[in-house]
């Protein structure tokens, strides 16, 4: 009887252990490549990423799933911006670069930040004068 040409000899077949090692190595390489691609992609969407066009996000704080506050430098000005659920962006305040530098060096107490915001708002209101009353004199 002659040997079956379809069957290979056991010496020519790779061992189960070697096949398992190669499979695990390939799986590990695929996972490492996926992590690298994800981190590279997320780095491009990082709100604190540097911009080459003169607009730089200095700081960002999420207030909720659809609300955030950003500190953005545009040229020589620093803006405090808020984003809301509808996708709108609103300028909350304008800071001088010196103010931002002094505030970012130390972590002020929250009450200090609120007090500074109140003072800033009252000084702006004094500069503008009182806002006109939109309601008629007789009431609502």
- Tens of pLDDT along the chain (140 residues) come to 555 555 656 566 667 888 899 999 999 999 999 988 887 766 555 555 555 567 788 888 888 888 888 888 887 788 888 888 777 888 888 887 777 776 665 666 666 776 777 777 777 666 666 656 666 665 55
- Cα–Cα nearest to 60, from 38, 83, 87, 76: 83
Q: Where are the beta strands (DSSP E) in 84-130?
A: 89-95
- What ranges do the domains of the chain cover? 55-128
Q: Which of 51, 41, 42 is nearest to 72 (CA)?
A: 51
């Amino acid at each position: 009887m002659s040997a079956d040409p379809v069957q290979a000899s056991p010496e020519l077949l790779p061992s189960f252990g070697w096949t398992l090692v190669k499979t695990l190595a390939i799986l590990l390489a695929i996972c490492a490549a996926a992590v690298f691609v994800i981190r590279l992609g997320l780095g491009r969407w990082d709100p604190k990423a540097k911009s080459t066009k003169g607009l730089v996000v200095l700081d960002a704080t999420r207030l909720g799933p659809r609300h955030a506050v950003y500190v953005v430098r545009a040229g020589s000005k620093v803006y405090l911006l808020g984003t809301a659920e509808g996708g709108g962006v609103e300028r909350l305040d304008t800071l001088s670069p010196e103010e931002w530098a002094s505030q970012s060096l130390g972590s002020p107490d929250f009450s200090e930040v609120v007090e500074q915001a109140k003072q800033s708002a009252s000084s702006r209101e004094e500069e503008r004068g009182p806002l006109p009353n939109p309601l008629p004199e007789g009431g609502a």
